[in-house]
Amino acid sequence: MLELRLVQGSLLKKVLEAIRDLVTDANFDCSGTGFSLQAMDSSHVALVALLLRSEGFEHYRCDRNLSMGMNLNNMAKMLRCAGNEDIITIKADDGSDTVTFMFESPNQDKIADFEMKLMDIDSEHLGIPDSEYQAIVRMPSAEFSRICKDLSSIGDTVIISVTKEGVKFSTAGDIGTANIVCRQNKTVDKPEDATIIEMQEPVSLTFALRYMNSFTKASPLSDQVTISLSSELPVVVEYKVAEMGYIRFYLAPKIEEDEEMKS
Amino acid sequence: MRSGSGGGDMKSFFRQQKAHAAAGSVKPTGGVSKKASQPRHHQKPVAQAVPDLADDPRRRIDEEEEERERMGREFDMDMRYGPCLGVTRAQRWRRAAALGLAPPHAVIAVCSDDQPCLWEGRV
């Protein structure tokens, strides 16, 4: 028996919108820790890891660990039927091959339930170690989203370079080149506007903008985004989900040849 | 854009964890319905990053060893191949084979002649 009640139902809607671009089918895993998902995109270049901790739910009951295979587009279709203020309850019985989403309007005068068929999905599960990163950039998520969008109109890849001075996003394409530099800025009125750079050593990596753009679909979840870079590791783009968890996107850096082609 | 080759494969960075038994997706061996049972051995839940020594050979050997051991145990527990007490795994395998029960070949490959069954000395 599984029963999760999420008062801030809009969070789940946003989570779905954030990942369904990248992944079409995925297994949601429920355990005592929380509601989680790990999935790779079809080309295995990007990985998304979602965690919503059990403490974040108003009610969390998960008698046994359960893995539910869902088509994210179908799930998004159902969740779009929930109002932004609605309370969402997810229910599943052990052994059943369906999951039920229940939407309650805030004043309880409308209750809807949607039952969705589950799928059997073969997924690979990767162990992601806790790593030390050479550079960690925290910046407003809207800013990052804007940068990726702007650069993708010029080139296909972005080179993210972190130095003491700041973080530079650059690209080159048929029509020309572009560089955007963001400096560290801690003295802001609102903490969510800050840009903070923690750097152990300078690092410069190249990534496909197509993926970066789909990561930024998670921007509505959080005002800030954290980008962790290390030369030997996939970049981690993390959005916090309220106080209850996170969505992390991992993207393997592009190999050298592209950088040489640029220079 | 060389869109397909967006970069290296994730799996070249993060090691794959064994079977998705991780958080409960059960791949039953018998004809059980897909969600009927629960994981027999359950690993860490997804999002808790597992400290992982990427290419430590010792670890890999450990894992292979564990895999062999698991296969042996599963064979012991499979009642189709007859009683397991008082015979070694290899003996039981040969007996099953002789009786036309088609025991899995992978098992005999990892069973040494003197390997006792799981219950030896415990019951």
Quick one: DSSP state of residue B70? H
Cβ distance A51 to B39 less than 8 Å, yes or no, reads: no
Q: Measured between alpha carbons, how far is A40 from B114 in angstroms, rounded to an integer?
A: 44
Which pLDDT score is estimated for B77?
82
Percent of chain B with pLDDT over 90: 0
Domain assignments of chain B as residue spans, ordered by start: 8-52, 53-123
- The burial class, CB within 10 Å (0-12 / 13-18 / 19+), for B91 is middle
**Residue that the structure tokens 């007859």 belong to:** B82
What's the pLDDT band for B50 if we cut at 50, 70, 90? very low
Cβ distance A127 to B48 less than 8 Å, yes or no, reads: no
Which pLDDT score is estimated for B21?
43
> How far from A225 is each of A91, A167, A182, B64, CA to CA, in Å?
31, 14, 14, 40
Could you tell me which of A15, A4, A21 has the C-alpha nearest to residue A73? A21
Assess contact for A139 and A222: CB atoms under 8 A. Answer: no
Please tell me the total number of residues recorded for chain A in this structure. 263
Are both A2-117 and A135-262 of the same fold? yes
* Three-class secondary structure of residue A122 per DSSP: coil
The distance of B73 to chain A (nearest Cα, Å) reads 23
Cβ distance A97 to B34 less than 8 Å, yes or no, reads: yes
Could you tell me which of B20, B46, B17 has the C-alpha nearest to residue A53? B46
- The burial class, CB within 10 Å (0-12 / 13-18 / 19+), for A112 is middle
From the list A96, A126, A156, the residue facing B10 with the nearest CB is A126
Cβ distance B6 to A118 less than 8 Å, yes or no, reads: no
Query: DSSP E strands: which ranges in chain A?
Result: 2-6, 25-30, 34-40, 46-53, 59-62, 66-71, 87-92, 98-104, 111-117, 125-127, 135-140, 157-162, 166-173, 176-183, 196-199, 203-208, 224-229, 235-241, 245-251
Which pLDDT score is estimated for A254?
87
Q: What is the pTM of this model?
A: 0.71
Residues with Cβ within 8 Å of residue A154, at least 6 apart in sequence:
A171, A172, A173, A175, A176, A177, A178
Q: What is the mean pLDDT of chain B?
A: 67
Class of domain A2-117: alpha beta
Number of A/B CB contacts below 8 angstroms equals: 152
β A196-199/A135-140 pair status: antiparallel
How do residues A140-168 score in pLDDT, each as one tens digit?
Answer: 999 999 999 999 999 999 999 999 889 99
Cβ distance B20 to A233 less than 8 Å, yes or no, reads: no
What's the pLDDT band for B123 if we cut at 50, 70, 90? low
Global ipTM: 0.72
Domain assignments of chain A as residue spans, ordered by start: 2-117, 135-262
How do residues B2-44 score in pLDDT, each as one tens digit?
Answer: 444 446 788 888 887 754 444 444 433 333 333 433 444 444 3
Judge whether B29 is closer than 8 Å to chain A, CB to CB.
no
Could you tell me which of B10, B66, B34 has the C-alpha nearest to residue A124? B10
β A34-40/A25-30 pair status: antiparallel
Q: Which region among A14-18, B26-30, B83-87 has the lowest average model confidence (pLDDT)? A: B26-30
Which pLDDT score is estimated for B7?
61
Fold category of A135-262 in CATH: Proliferating Cell Nuclear Antigen (3.70.10)
